[in-house]
Chains A and B, each alone.
Chain A
Protein backbone atom coordinates (compact mmCIF):
# COMPACT_ATOMS: atom_id res chain seq x y z
CA UNK A 1 0.00 0.00 0.00
CA UNK A 2 1.65 3.26 -1.07
CA UNK A 3 1.63 6.07 1.44
CA UNK A 4 -1.25 8.43 0.84
CA UNK A 5 0.17 11.40 2.69
CA UNK A 6 1.32 14.12 0.33
CA UNK A 7 4.75 14.18 1.85
CA UNK A 8 6.57 15.61 -1.12
CA UNK A 9 4.81 18.93 -1.52
CA UNK A 10 3.49 18.73 2.00
CA UNK A 11 5.69 21.49 3.34
CA UNK A 12 4.79 23.94 0.61
CA UNK A 13 1.12 23.07 0.81
CA UNK A 14 1.22 23.52 4.57
CA UNK A 15 2.93 26.89 4.08
CA UNK A 16 0.12 27.93 1.74
CA UNK A 17 -2.50 27.06 4.33
CA UNK A 18 -0.54 28.82 7.05
CA UNK A 19 -0.21 31.96 4.97
CA UNK A 20 -3.90 32.08 4.20
CA UNK A 21 -5.10 31.13 7.65
CA UNK A 22 -4.86 34.56 9.32
CA UNK A 23 -7.10 35.99 6.63
CA UNK A 24 -9.48 33.04 6.87
CA UNK A 25 -9.71 33.50 10.61
CA UNK A 26 -10.05 37.27 10.29
CA UNK A 27 -12.78 37.01 7.67
CA UNK A 28 -14.66 34.38 9.64
CA UNK A 29 -14.50 36.32 12.88
CA UNK A 30 -14.55 39.95 11.78
CA UNK A 31 -17.06 39.60 8.98
CA UNK A 32 -19.30 36.61 9.61
CA UNK A 33 -18.85 36.46 13.35
CA UNK A 34 -19.55 40.18 13.63
CA UNK A 35 -22.65 39.92 11.49
CA UNK A 36 -24.03 37.26 13.83
CA UNK A 37 -22.93 39.34 16.79
CA UNK A 38 -24.75 42.39 15.48
CA UNK A 39 -27.84 40.25 14.92
CA UNK A 40 -27.61 39.12 18.54
CA UNK A 41 -27.17 42.73 19.77
CA UNK A 42 -30.28 43.72 17.85
CA UNK A 43 -32.24 41.20 19.90
CA UNK A 44 -31.00 42.49 23.28
CA UNK A 45 -31.62 45.47 25.50
CA UNK A 46 -28.24 46.98 24.70
CA UNK A 47 -28.00 50.71 25.21
CA UNK A 48 -24.70 52.48 25.78
CA UNK A 49 -23.12 49.18 26.69
CA UNK A 50 -23.89 45.79 25.20
CA UNK A 51 -26.21 43.66 27.27
CA UNK A 52 -27.24 40.04 26.99
CA UNK A 53 -30.77 40.72 28.09
CA UNK A 54 -32.86 39.13 25.35
CA UNK A 55 -35.83 41.24 24.28
CA UNK A 56 -36.91 39.47 21.10
CA UNK A 57 -37.92 41.80 18.33
CA UNK A 58 -38.52 44.80 20.57
CA UNK A 59 -35.77 46.83 18.89
CA UNK A 60 -37.29 46.13 15.49
CA UNK A 61 -40.68 47.36 16.75
CA UNK A 62 -38.95 50.50 17.98
CA UNK A 63 -37.11 50.85 14.70
CA UNK A 64 -40.13 50.49 12.48
CA UNK A 65 -42.21 52.57 14.86
CA UNK A 66 -39.79 55.46 14.41
CA UNK A 67 -40.71 58.15 11.91
CA UNK A 68 -37.04 59.04 11.70
CA UNK A 69 -36.23 55.53 10.41
CA UNK A 70 -39.02 55.72 7.86
CA UNK A 71 -37.74 59.08 6.75
CA UNK A 72 -34.27 57.54 6.42
CA UNK A 73 -35.63 54.72 4.28
CA UNK A 74 -37.62 56.99 2.00
CA UNK A 75 -34.62 59.31 1.71
CA UNK A 76 -32.45 56.38 0.69
CA UNK A 77 -35.10 55.47 -1.90
CA UNK A 78 -35.21 58.98 -3.35
CA UNK A 79 -31.48 59.60 -3.12
CA UNK A 80 -30.46 56.12 -4.24
CA UNK A 81 -32.90 55.96 -7.14
CA UNK A 82 -32.05 59.37 -8.55
CA UNK A 83 -28.34 59.02 -7.90
CA UNK A 84 -28.09 55.64 -9.63
CA UNK A 85 -30.14 56.73 -12.62
CA UNK A 86 -28.35 60.03 -13.12
CA UNK A 87 -24.79 58.89 -12.49
CA UNK A 88 -25.14 55.76 -14.63
CA UNK A 89 -26.93 57.73 -17.35
CA UNK A 90 -24.49 60.63 -17.50
CA UNK A 91 -21.55 58.27 -17.03
CA UNK A 92 -22.66 56.23 -20.02
CA UNK A 93 -23.29 59.37 -22.07
CA UNK A 94 -19.85 60.79 -21.34
CA UNK A 95 -18.22 57.45 -22.09
CA UNK A 96 -19.92 57.27 -25.49
CA UNK A 97 -18.88 60.83 -26.30
CA UNK A 98 -15.30 60.13 -25.25
CA UNK A 99 -15.31 57.02 -27.40
CA UNK A 100 -15.68 59.18 -30.57
CA UNK A 101 -11.91 59.53 -31.04
CA UNK A 102 -11.94 62.81 -29.18
CA UNK A 103 -8.79 64.92 -29.01
CA UNK A 104 -7.48 65.43 -25.48
CA UNK A 105 -9.44 62.38 -24.37
CA UNK A 106 -7.02 61.77 -21.50
CA UNK A 107 -7.48 65.31 -20.24
CA UNK A 108 -11.27 65.01 -20.19
CA UNK A 109 -10.96 61.69 -18.37
CA UNK A 110 -8.68 63.16 -15.73
CA UNK A 111 -11.12 66.01 -15.14
CA UNK A 112 -14.21 63.77 -15.01
CA UNK A 113 -12.65 61.29 -12.63
CA UNK A 114 -10.73 63.45 -10.16
CA UNK A 115 -13.65 63.85 -7.71
CA UNK A 116 -13.39 60.09 -7.16
CA UNK A 117 -9.96 60.66 -5.62
CA UNK A 118 -11.37 63.14 -3.10
CA UNK A 119 -12.78 62.27 0.26
CA UNK A 120 -16.56 62.32 0.52
CA UNK A 121 -16.09 64.79 3.37
CA UNK A 122 -14.19 67.19 1.15
CA UNK A 123 -16.89 66.84 -1.49
CA UNK A 124 -19.51 67.61 1.13
CA UNK A 125 -17.66 70.70 2.31
CA UNK A 126 -17.21 72.02 -1.22
CA UNK A 127 -20.84 71.57 -2.19
CA UNK A 128 -22.04 72.98 1.10
CA UNK A 129 -20.27 76.16 0.09
CA UNK A 130 -21.57 76.12 -3.48
CA UNK A 131 -25.13 75.44 -2.37
CA UNK A 132 -25.12 78.02 0.40
CA UNK A 133 -27.96 80.42 -0.49
CA UNK A 134 -26.08 83.49 0.72
CA UNK A 135 -22.88 82.89 -1.28
CA UNK A 136 -23.31 80.02 -3.69
CA UNK A 137 -25.25 79.37 -6.86
CA UNK A 138 -28.32 81.34 -5.72
CA UNK A 139 -26.19 84.40 -5.03
CA UNK A 140 -24.33 84.13 -8.33
CA UNK A 141 -27.48 83.91 -10.41
CA UNK A 142 -29.09 86.77 -8.46
CA UNK A 143 -26.03 88.95 -9.04
CA UNK A 144 -26.28 88.21 -12.76
CA UNK A 145 -29.57 90.12 -12.87
CA UNK A 146 -32.17 87.68 -11.61
CA UNK A 147 -32.87 89.11 -8.11
CA UNK A 148 -35.76 86.71 -7.45
CA UNK A 149 -33.96 83.55 -8.40
CA UNK A 150 -34.32 80.99 -5.59
CA UNK A 151 -32.11 77.97 -5.04
CA UNK A 152 -32.03 77.28 -1.32
CA UNK A 153 -32.66 73.53 -1.33
CA UNK A 154 -30.01 72.91 1.26
CA UNK A 155 -31.99 74.83 3.87
CA UNK A 156 -35.33 73.32 2.85
CA UNK A 157 -36.27 70.07 4.60
CA UNK A 158 -38.34 68.98 1.59
CA UNK A 159 -35.58 69.62 -0.93
CA UNK A 160 -32.32 69.07 0.95
CA UNK A 161 -32.11 65.40 -0.04
CA UNK A 162 -31.78 66.50 -3.69
CA UNK A 163 -28.63 68.44 -2.88
CA UNK A 164 -27.17 65.16 -1.69
CA UNK A 165 -27.99 63.70 -5.10
CA UNK A 166 -26.16 66.58 -6.82
CA UNK A 167 -23.01 66.17 -4.74
CA UNK A 168 -22.97 62.38 -5.02
CA UNK A 169 -23.47 62.52 -8.78
CA UNK A 170 -20.64 65.01 -9.03
CA UNK A 171 -18.31 62.76 -7.09
CA UNK A 172 -18.88 59.40 -8.80
CA UNK A 173 -20.18 60.00 -12.32
CA UNK A 174 -16.61 59.90 -13.58
CA UNK A 175 -16.27 56.46 -12.05
CA UNK A 176 -19.31 55.24 -13.98
CA UNK A 177 -17.83 56.85 -17.09
CA UNK A 178 -14.58 54.95 -16.55
CA UNK A 179 -16.44 51.65 -16.18
CA UNK A 180 -18.46 52.21 -19.33
CA UNK A 181 -15.43 53.39 -21.25
CA UNK A 182 -13.59 50.20 -20.28
CA UNK A 183 -16.64 48.25 -21.44
CA UNK A 184 -16.82 50.15 -24.74
CA UNK A 185 -13.13 49.54 -25.38
CA UNK A 186 -13.78 45.85 -24.84
CA UNK A 187 -16.35 45.65 -27.64
CA UNK A 188 -14.89 43.77 -30.59
CA UNK A 189 -14.07 46.24 -33.38
CA UNK A 190 -14.95 43.54 -35.88
CA UNK A 191 -18.57 43.49 -34.75
CA UNK A 192 -18.72 47.25 -35.23
CA UNK A 193 -17.09 46.98 -38.65
CA UNK A 194 -19.54 44.28 -39.64
CA UNK A 195 -22.43 46.55 -38.62
CA UNK A 196 -20.93 49.45 -40.59
CA UNK A 197 -20.64 47.27 -43.67
CA UNK A 198 -24.25 46.28 -43.13
CA UNK A 199 -25.01 49.99 -43.52
CA UNK A 200 -26.08 50.80 -39.96
CA UNK A 201 -25.90 54.41 -38.79
CA UNK A 202 -23.74 55.34 -35.80
CA UNK A 203 -26.80 55.70 -33.58
CA UNK A 204 -28.16 52.37 -34.68
CA UNK A 205 -24.82 50.67 -34.14
CA UNK A 206 -24.78 51.93 -30.56
CA UNK A 207 -28.39 51.04 -29.88
CA UNK A 208 -28.50 47.64 -31.51
CA UNK A 209 -24.94 46.36 -31.40
CA UNK A 210 -22.73 48.04 -28.83
CA UNK A 211 -25.05 48.72 -25.89
CA UNK A 212 -26.56 45.20 -25.84
CA UNK A 213 -23.06 43.76 -25.65
CA UNK A 214 -22.42 46.04 -22.66
CA UNK A 215 -24.99 44.20 -20.51
CA UNK A 216 -22.33 42.92 -18.09
CA UNK A 217 -20.96 46.44 -17.76
CA UNK A 218 -24.43 47.72 -16.86
CA UNK A 219 -24.63 45.06 -14.18
CA UNK A 220 -21.34 46.19 -12.70
CA UNK A 221 -22.25 49.88 -12.85
CA UNK A 222 -25.63 49.27 -11.21
CA UNK A 223 -24.27 47.04 -8.46
CA UNK A 224 -21.51 49.52 -7.68
CA UNK A 225 -23.69 52.60 -7.69
CA UNK A 226 -26.38 50.95 -5.57
CA UNK A 227 -23.65 49.92 -3.14
CA UNK A 228 -22.21 53.43 -3.06
CA UNK A 229 -25.66 54.90 -2.42
CA UNK A 230 -26.37 52.59 0.53
CA UNK A 231 -22.92 53.18 2.02
CA UNK A 232 -23.01 56.99 1.61
CA UNK A 233 -22.22 58.54 4.95
CA UNK A 234 -19.38 61.05 5.07
CA UNK A 235 -20.76 63.02 2.14
CA UNK A 236 -24.14 63.61 3.80
CA UNK A 237 -22.62 64.30 7.19
CA UNK A 238 -20.35 66.99 5.73
CA UNK A 239 -22.96 68.43 3.37
CA UNK A 240 -26.07 68.65 5.52
CA UNK A 241 -25.21 66.85 8.75
CA UNK A 242 -28.35 64.84 8.10
CA UNK A 243 -30.50 67.94 8.39
CA UNK A 244 -32.21 70.33 8.44
CA UNK A 245 -33.71 68.45 11.36
CA UNK A 246 -33.42 64.90 10.22
CA UNK A 247 -34.68 65.61 6.73
CA UNK A 248 -31.58 64.13 5.04
CA UNK A 249 -31.09 61.17 7.37
CA UNK A 250 -30.42 57.89 5.63
CA UNK A 251 -29.98 54.47 7.28
CA UNK A 252 -26.21 54.90 7.60
CA UNK A 253 -26.67 58.13 9.54
CA UNK A 254 -29.54 56.72 11.55
CA UNK A 255 -27.35 53.78 12.55
CA UNK A 256 -24.49 56.06 13.56
CA UNK A 257 -26.64 58.42 15.58
CA UNK A 258 -28.53 55.71 17.46
CA UNK A 259 -25.48 53.53 18.11
CA UNK A 260 -22.88 56.12 18.99
CA UNK A 261 -24.64 59.33 19.93
CA UNK A 262 -27.95 58.35 21.50
CA UNK A 263 -26.76 55.18 23.20
CA UNK A 264 -29.49 52.98 21.74
CA UNK A 265 -27.23 50.18 20.61
CA UNK A 266 -30.01 47.62 20.18
CA UNK A 267 -31.90 49.83 17.75
CA UNK A 268 -28.63 50.77 16.05
CA UNK A 269 -27.79 47.11 15.54
CA UNK A 270 -31.25 46.46 14.13
CA UNK A 271 -30.80 49.33 11.66
CA UNK A 272 -27.35 48.02 10.67
CA UNK A 273 -28.87 44.64 9.94
CA UNK A 274 -31.57 46.29 7.84
CA UNK A 275 -28.83 48.00 5.82
CA UNK A 276 -27.24 44.62 5.18
CA UNK A 277 -30.61 43.23 4.13
CA UNK A 278 -31.20 46.14 1.77
CA UNK A 279 -27.75 45.64 0.26
CA UNK A 280 -28.35 41.93 -0.21
CA UNK A 281 -31.77 42.51 -1.79
CA UNK A 282 -30.26 44.80 -4.40
CA UNK A 283 -26.86 43.25 -4.93
CA UNK A 284 -27.32 39.48 -4.58
CA UNK A 285 -29.71 39.06 -7.54
CA UNK A 286 -27.18 40.84 -9.71
CA UNK A 287 -24.34 38.69 -8.47
CA UNK A 288 -26.33 35.48 -8.96
CA UNK A 289 -27.40 36.58 -12.43
CA UNK A 290 -23.80 37.43 -13.19
CA UNK A 291 -22.44 34.09 -12.02
CA UNK A 292 -25.12 32.25 -14.03
CA UNK A 293 -24.21 34.28 -17.09
CA UNK A 294 -20.56 33.34 -16.65
CA UNK A 295 -21.33 29.65 -16.05
Chain B
Protein backbone atom coordinates (compact mmCIF):
# COMPACT_ATOMS: atom_id res chain seq x y z
CA UNK B 1 0.00 0.00 0.00
CA UNK B 2 1.41 3.32 -0.95
CA UNK B 3 -0.89 6.05 0.17
CA UNK B 4 0.56 9.48 0.26
CA UNK B 5 -0.66 11.56 3.14
CA UNK B 6 -2.23 14.06 0.78
CA UNK B 7 -4.56 11.43 -0.65
CA UNK B 8 -5.35 9.28 2.31
CA UNK B 9 -8.77 7.53 2.43
CA UNK B 10 -9.99 10.40 4.62
CA UNK B 11 -9.17 12.91 1.90
CA UNK B 12 -10.97 10.83 -0.72
CA UNK B 13 -14.01 10.73 1.54
CA UNK B 14 -13.99 14.51 1.89
CA UNK B 15 -13.81 15.01 -1.86
CA UNK B 16 -16.44 12.32 -2.38
CA UNK B 17 -18.94 13.94 -0.07
CA UNK B 18 -18.27 17.42 -1.41
CA UNK B 19 -18.67 16.25 -4.99
CA UNK B 20 -21.92 14.43 -4.23
CA UNK B 21 -23.23 17.59 -2.60
CA UNK B 22 -22.14 19.61 -5.62
CA UNK B 23 -24.05 17.23 -7.91
CA UNK B 24 -27.15 17.60 -5.74
CA UNK B 25 -26.94 21.38 -6.02
CA UNK B 26 -26.29 21.30 -9.75
CA UNK B 27 -28.97 18.73 -10.62
CA UNK B 28 -32.04 21.02 -10.74
CA UNK B 29 -30.34 23.59 -12.89
CA UNK B 30 -29.00 20.91 -15.21
CA UNK B 31 -32.45 19.44 -15.58
CA UNK B 32 -33.92 22.88 -16.28
CA UNK B 33 -31.29 23.58 -18.88
CA UNK B 34 -31.60 20.31 -20.82
CA UNK B 35 -35.39 20.46 -20.69
CA UNK B 36 -35.42 23.97 -22.09
CA UNK B 37 -33.49 22.79 -25.14
CA UNK B 38 -35.91 19.96 -25.91
CA UNK B 39 -39.07 19.90 -27.98
CA UNK B 40 -42.20 18.73 -26.21
CA UNK B 41 -42.20 15.32 -27.99
CA UNK B 42 -38.62 14.94 -26.84
CA UNK B 43 -39.61 15.85 -23.28
CA UNK B 44 -42.11 13.00 -23.35
CA UNK B 45 -39.89 10.48 -25.05
CA UNK B 46 -36.57 11.01 -23.29
CA UNK B 47 -35.70 10.90 -19.62
CA UNK B 48 -35.45 14.06 -17.62
CA UNK B 49 -31.68 13.65 -17.34
CA UNK B 50 -31.07 12.91 -21.00
CA UNK B 51 -29.34 15.47 -23.15
CA UNK B 52 -31.45 16.94 -25.98
CA UNK B 53 -30.91 15.49 -29.46
CA UNK B 54 -29.97 18.90 -30.71
CA UNK B 55 -29.91 22.43 -29.33
CA UNK B 56 -33.45 23.44 -30.06
CA UNK B 57 -34.26 27.06 -29.29
CA UNK B 58 -37.98 26.97 -29.98
CA UNK B 59 -38.89 26.75 -26.27
CA UNK B 60 -36.68 29.75 -25.50
CA UNK B 61 -38.21 31.80 -28.28
CA UNK B 62 -41.71 30.79 -27.30
CA UNK B 63 -41.06 31.65 -23.63
CA UNK B 64 -39.57 34.99 -24.53
CA UNK B 65 -42.14 36.26 -26.99
CA UNK B 66 -45.19 34.01 -27.35
CA UNK B 67 -46.08 32.21 -24.13
CA UNK B 68 -49.45 33.00 -22.59
CA UNK B 69 -49.27 34.91 -19.34
CA UNK B 70 -52.51 36.25 -17.92
CA UNK B 71 -54.56 37.45 -20.85
CA UNK B 72 -51.79 38.12 -23.34
CA UNK B 73 -49.65 35.73 -25.36
CA UNK B 74 -46.53 37.78 -25.73
CA UNK B 75 -44.07 35.83 -23.61
CA UNK B 76 -42.12 37.07 -20.64
CA UNK B 77 -40.00 39.70 -22.34
CA UNK B 78 -42.22 42.57 -21.20
CA UNK B 79 -42.12 41.37 -17.61
CA UNK B 80 -38.41 40.85 -17.83
CA UNK B 81 -38.09 44.48 -18.85
CA UNK B 82 -40.48 45.44 -16.04
CA UNK B 83 -38.10 43.94 -13.53
CA UNK B 84 -35.25 46.08 -14.83
CA UNK B 85 -37.41 49.20 -14.81
CA UNK B 86 -38.22 48.40 -11.19
CA UNK B 87 -34.84 47.26 -9.97
CA UNK B 88 -32.55 49.95 -11.31
CA UNK B 89 -34.11 53.00 -9.66
CA UNK B 90 -34.99 51.05 -6.51
CA UNK B 91 -31.39 49.90 -6.06
CA UNK B 92 -29.94 53.33 -6.71
CA UNK B 93 -32.31 55.15 -4.39
CA UNK B 94 -32.18 52.68 -1.51
CA UNK B 95 -28.39 52.38 -1.72
CA UNK B 96 -27.89 56.14 -1.80
CA UNK B 97 -30.16 56.77 1.17
CA UNK B 98 -28.57 53.88 3.04
CA UNK B 99 -25.13 55.40 2.49
CA UNK B 100 -26.17 58.74 3.93
CA UNK B 101 -27.95 57.07 6.83
CA UNK B 102 -24.94 54.94 7.65
CA UNK B 103 -22.74 58.03 7.55
CA UNK B 104 -24.98 59.92 9.95
CA UNK B 105 -25.41 56.94 12.27
CA UNK B 106 -21.67 56.44 12.65
CA UNK B 107 -20.14 59.90 12.47
CA UNK B 108 -22.87 62.43 13.22
CA UNK B 109 -24.70 60.72 16.00
CA UNK B 110 -27.20 62.74 17.94
CA UNK B 111 -29.49 62.10 20.84
CA UNK B 112 -31.83 59.31 19.85
CA UNK B 113 -29.96 58.24 16.74
CA UNK B 114 -28.97 54.92 18.28
CA UNK B 115 -32.49 54.18 19.42
CA UNK B 116 -33.58 54.88 15.88
CA UNK B 117 -30.99 52.43 14.59
CA UNK B 118 -32.37 49.64 16.77
CA UNK B 119 -35.86 50.60 15.67
CA UNK B 120 -34.74 50.21 12.09
CA UNK B 121 -33.09 46.87 12.79
CA UNK B 122 -36.48 45.38 13.56
CA UNK B 123 -37.37 46.25 9.98
CA UNK B 124 -34.93 43.58 8.80
CA UNK B 125 -36.69 40.75 10.63
CA UNK B 126 -40.43 41.44 10.47
CA UNK B 127 -42.48 39.25 8.13
CA UNK B 128 -43.68 41.73 5.55
CA UNK B 129 -47.21 40.33 5.67
CA UNK B 130 -47.69 42.68 8.62
CA UNK B 131 -47.44 45.75 6.36
CA UNK B 132 -49.19 44.53 3.21
CA UNK B 133 -52.74 45.61 3.98
CA UNK B 134 -52.04 49.19 5.11
CA UNK B 135 -49.59 49.64 2.24
CA UNK B 136 -52.18 48.48 -0.29
CA UNK B 137 -54.65 50.94 1.15
CA UNK B 138 -52.15 53.82 1.16
CA UNK B 139 -51.17 53.10 -2.44
CA UNK B 140 -54.81 53.10 -3.41
CA UNK B 141 -55.38 56.43 -1.72
CA UNK B 142 -52.48 58.18 -3.40
CA UNK B 143 -53.41 56.64 -6.75
CA UNK B 144 -50.40 54.45 -7.41
CA UNK B 145 -51.99 51.09 -6.65
CA UNK B 146 -50.99 48.34 -9.04
CA UNK B 147 -48.17 50.31 -10.65
CA UNK B 148 -44.65 49.10 -11.11
CA UNK B 149 -43.12 52.56 -10.82
CA UNK B 150 -43.63 54.32 -8.52
CA UNK B 151 -45.91 51.89 -6.61
CA UNK B 152 -43.88 48.71 -6.29
CA UNK B 153 -40.60 50.60 -6.44
CA UNK B 154 -41.61 52.67 -3.43
CA UNK B 155 -42.37 49.51 -1.45
CA UNK B 156 -38.97 48.05 -2.24
CA UNK B 157 -37.14 51.27 -1.41
CA UNK B 158 -38.88 51.68 1.93
CA UNK B 159 -38.40 48.12 3.13
CA UNK B 160 -34.89 47.92 1.70
CA UNK B 161 -33.70 50.91 3.71
CA UNK B 162 -33.28 48.92 6.89
CA UNK B 163 -30.85 46.60 5.10
CA UNK B 164 -28.92 49.26 3.19
CA UNK B 165 -28.59 51.43 6.28
CA UNK B 166 -27.37 48.46 8.30
CA UNK B 167 -24.75 47.61 5.65
CA UNK B 168 -23.35 51.12 5.43
CA UNK B 169 -23.45 51.66 9.17
CA UNK B 170 -21.46 48.49 9.82
CA UNK B 171 -18.94 49.52 7.20
CA UNK B 172 -18.56 53.14 8.26
CA UNK B 173 -18.08 52.14 11.90
CA UNK B 174 -14.71 50.83 10.75
CA UNK B 175 -13.62 54.21 9.40
CA UNK B 176 -11.74 56.08 12.14
CA UNK B 177 -13.61 59.04 13.53
CA UNK B 178 -10.33 60.98 13.58
CA UNK B 179 -10.69 61.22 9.81
CA UNK B 180 -13.92 63.17 10.19
CA UNK B 181 -12.38 65.35 12.88
CA UNK B 182 -9.39 66.08 10.68
CA UNK B 183 -11.65 67.02 7.78
CA UNK B 184 -13.69 69.32 10.00
CA UNK B 185 -10.56 71.07 11.20
CA UNK B 186 -9.58 71.31 7.53
CA UNK B 187 -12.82 73.16 6.93
CA UNK B 188 -14.94 70.47 5.30
CA UNK B 189 -18.66 70.33 6.09
CA UNK B 190 -21.23 67.56 6.30
CA UNK B 191 -21.61 66.92 2.58
CA UNK B 192 -18.07 67.66 1.56
CA UNK B 193 -16.80 65.12 4.12
CA UNK B 194 -19.24 62.57 2.75
CA UNK B 195 -18.37 63.10 -0.89
CA UNK B 196 -14.63 63.78 -0.53
CA UNK B 197 -13.65 61.44 2.32
CA UNK B 198 -16.25 58.73 2.81
CA UNK B 199 -17.52 57.99 -0.68
CA UNK B 200 -14.09 57.41 -2.25
CA UNK B 201 -13.43 54.59 0.23
CA UNK B 202 -16.92 53.10 -0.04
CA UNK B 203 -16.61 51.14 -3.29
CA UNK B 204 -16.70 47.69 -1.62
CA UNK B 205 -19.76 48.42 0.47
CA UNK B 206 -21.54 50.09 -2.43
CA UNK B 207 -20.95 46.90 -4.43
CA UNK B 208 -22.15 44.71 -1.58
CA UNK B 209 -25.27 46.79 -0.99
CA UNK B 210 -26.19 47.29 -4.62
CA UNK B 211 -25.78 43.59 -5.39
CA UNK B 212 -27.76 42.63 -2.30
CA UNK B 213 -30.59 44.97 -3.21
CA UNK B 214 -30.53 43.94 -6.85
CA UNK B 215 -30.81 40.27 -5.92
CA UNK B 216 -33.46 40.80 -3.27
CA UNK B 217 -35.68 43.02 -5.39
CA UNK B 218 -35.27 41.04 -8.61
CA UNK B 219 -36.10 37.79 -6.86
CA UNK B 220 -38.93 39.14 -4.72
CA UNK B 221 -42.33 37.61 -5.30
CA UNK B 222 -44.55 38.69 -2.40
CA UNK B 223 -44.53 42.45 -3.02
CA UNK B 224 -44.82 41.94 -6.76
CA UNK B 225 -47.85 39.67 -6.57
CA UNK B 226 -49.61 41.91 -4.04
CA UNK B 227 -48.86 45.35 -5.42
CA UNK B 228 -48.86 45.03 -9.22
CA UNK B 229 -51.35 43.98 -11.84
CA UNK B 230 -52.32 44.30 -15.45
CA UNK B 231 -49.03 43.73 -17.25
CA UNK B 232 -47.06 45.74 -14.69
CA UNK B 233 -45.82 42.66 -12.84
CA UNK B 234 -42.15 41.82 -12.36
CA UNK B 235 -40.78 38.70 -13.98
CA UNK B 236 -41.07 36.45 -10.92
CA UNK B 237 -44.81 36.97 -10.82
CA UNK B 238 -45.02 36.36 -14.56
CA UNK B 239 -43.14 33.07 -14.29
CA UNK B 240 -45.53 31.86 -11.64
CA UNK B 241 -48.50 32.86 -13.79
CA UNK B 242 -47.00 31.09 -16.80
CA UNK B 243 -46.40 27.86 -14.92
CA UNK B 244 -49.78 28.08 -13.25
CA UNK B 245 -51.77 28.73 -16.39
CA UNK B 246 -53.80 25.61 -16.92
CA UNK B 247 -53.80 24.76 -20.60
CA UNK B 248 -54.45 21.49 -22.25
CA UNK B 249 -50.81 20.43 -22.14
CA UNK B 250 -48.15 21.66 -19.78
CA UNK B 251 -45.23 22.98 -21.80
CA UNK B 252 -42.43 22.04 -19.46
CA UNK B 253 -39.72 23.10 -21.87
CA UNK B 254 -41.19 26.61 -22.11
CA UNK B 255 -41.59 26.81 -18.32
CA UNK B 256 -37.95 25.93 -17.84
CA UNK B 257 -36.71 28.35 -20.48
CA UNK B 258 -38.75 31.15 -18.93
CA UNK B 259 -37.50 30.30 -15.46
CA UNK B 260 -33.91 30.41 -16.68
CA UNK B 261 -34.53 33.79 -18.28
CA UNK B 262 -35.82 35.03 -14.96
CA UNK B 263 -32.83 33.58 -13.14
CA UNK B 264 -30.21 34.84 -15.56
CA UNK B 265 -29.57 38.42 -14.34
CA UNK B 266 -29.02 37.52 -10.68
CA UNK B 267 -27.11 34.41 -11.65
CA UNK B 268 -24.76 36.44 -13.82
CA UNK B 269 -24.23 38.99 -11.08
CA UNK B 270 -23.49 36.12 -8.73
CA UNK B 271 -20.97 34.54 -11.06
CA UNK B 272 -19.24 37.84 -11.82
CA UNK B 273 -19.31 39.46 -8.38
CA UNK B 274 -19.94 36.51 -6.09
CA UNK B 275 -17.40 37.79 -3.60
CA UNK B 276 -19.57 40.83 -2.84
CA UNK B 277 -22.74 38.75 -2.81
CA UNK B 278 -21.33 36.38 -0.20
CA UNK B 279 -19.99 39.28 1.83
CA UNK B 280 -23.45 40.83 1.85
CA UNK B 281 -25.02 37.58 2.95
CA UNK B 282 -22.59 36.94 5.76
CA UNK B 283 -21.66 40.47 6.82
CA UNK B 284 -25.23 41.71 6.87
CA UNK B 285 -26.22 38.63 8.76
CA UNK B 286 -23.36 38.23 11.19
CA UNK B 287 -23.26 41.83 12.27
CA UNK B 288 -27.00 42.24 12.68
The answer to A–B direct touch (Cβ < 8 A) is: yes
Tell me the A residues contacting B by CB distance below 8 Å: 9, 11-13, 15-17, 19-20, 22-24, 26-28, 30-35, 37-38, 41, 50, 90, 94, 97-98, 100, 102, 108-130, 135-136, 139-140, 143, 170, 174-175, 178-179, 182-183, 217, 220, 223-224, 227, 230-231, 233-234, 237-238, 241, 251-252, 255-256, 259-260, 265, 268-269, 271-273, 275-276, 279, 283
B286–chain A nearest beta-carbon distance, Å: 6
Are A30 and B158 in contact, with the CB atoms below 8 A?
Answer: yes
Are A30 and B127 in contact, with the CB atoms below 8 A?
Answer: no
B195 within 8 A of A: no
Are A234 and B285 in contact, with the CB atoms below 8 A?
Answer: no
Residues of chain B from 94 to 125 with CB closer than 8 A to chain A in the complex: 97, 100-101, 103-105, 108, 110, 113, 116, 119-120, 122-123, 125
Q: Which 8 A-B pairs have the closest CB atoms?
A: A234-B221, A16-B108, A117-B270, A119-B219, A15-B190, A37-B134, A272-B129, A12-B190
Residues of B within 8 A of A273 (CB): 130
Closest to A224 in B: B285
Interchain Cβ contacts under 8 Å between A and B, 11 examples: A22-B97, A27-B162, A100-B14, A123-B28, A124-B240, A170-B28, A179-B285, A234-B240, A238-B221, A251-B129, A275-B129
8 Å CB contact of B131 from A24, A38, A251: A38
Residues of A within 8 A of B244 (CB): 241
B92 within 8 A of A: no
Residues of A within 8 A of B133 (CB): 37-38, 41, 50, 259, 265, 268-269, 272
Given A26-B158, A34-B134: 20 more A-B contacts, CB < 8 Å = A15-B190, A19-B100, A27-B119, A31-B122, A31-B162, A38-B133, A41-B134, A94-B18, A112-B25, A117-B263, A118-B263, A119-B221, A119-B266, A122-B259, A125-B240, A125-B255, A129-B48, A237-B225, A260-B132, A275-B129
Are B161 and A23 in contact, with the CB atoms below 8 A?
Answer: yes
Q: Which of B53-61, B65-73, B198-206, B271-279 contacts A (4 or more CB under 8 A)?
A: B271-279
Are B104 and A19 in contact, with the CB atoms below 8 A?
Answer: yes
Residues of A within 8 A of B25 (CB): 111-112, 114-115, 170, 174
Residues of B within 8 A of A30 (CB): 131, 135, 158-159
Residues of A within 8 A of B18 (CB): 94, 97-98, 102, 108
B222 within 8 A of A: yes
8 Å CB contact of B110 from A17, A120, A129, A275: A17
- A256–B221 Cα distance when bound, in Å, is 12
Are A126 and B31 in contact, with the CB atoms below 8 A?
Answer: yes
- Give chain B's interface secondary structure class: helix
B235–chain A nearest beta-carbon distance, Å: 8
Residues of B within 8 A of A127 (CB): 28
A7–chain B nearest beta-carbon distance, Å: 14
Are B14 and A97 in contact, with the CB atoms below 8 A?
Answer: yes
- A100–B103 Cα distance when bound, in Å, is 39
- A112–B125 Cα distance when bound, in Å, is 25
With A119-B266, A121-B236, A121-B262 known as contacts, the answer to whether A130 contacts B28 (CB < 8 A) is: yes
Number of interface residues of B (CB under 8 A): 89
B226 within 8 A of A: yes
Are B21 and A112 in contact, with the CB atoms below 8 A?
Answer: yes
8 Å CB contact of A231 from B128, B189, B190: B128
Are A129 and B256 in contact, with the CB atoms below 8 A?
Answer: yes
B49 within 8 A of A: yes
With A19-B104, A135-B252, A182-B282 known as contacts, the answer to whether A129 contacts B31 (CB < 8 A) is: yes
- A27–B126 Cα distance when bound, in Å, is 12
Are B110 and A13 in contact, with the CB atoms below 8 A?
Answer: yes
Are A279 and B126 in contact, with the CB atoms below 8 A?
Answer: yes
B85 within 8 A of A: no
B85–chain A nearest beta-carbon distance, Å: 17
8 Å CB contact of B123 from A22, A31, A135, A272: A31
Closest to A31 in B: B123
Are A20 and B286 in contact, with the CB atoms below 8 A?
Answer: no
Residues of chain B from 236 to 287 with CB closer than 8 A to chain A in the complex: 236-237, 239-240, 243-244, 252, 255-256, 259-260, 262-263, 266-267, 269-271, 274, 277-278, 281-282, 285-286
- A174–B281 Cα distance when bound, in Å, is 11
Are A125 and B267 in contact, with the CB atoms below 8 A?
Answer: no
Interface-centre pick from A15, A34, A102 (highest chain B CB count, 10 A): A34
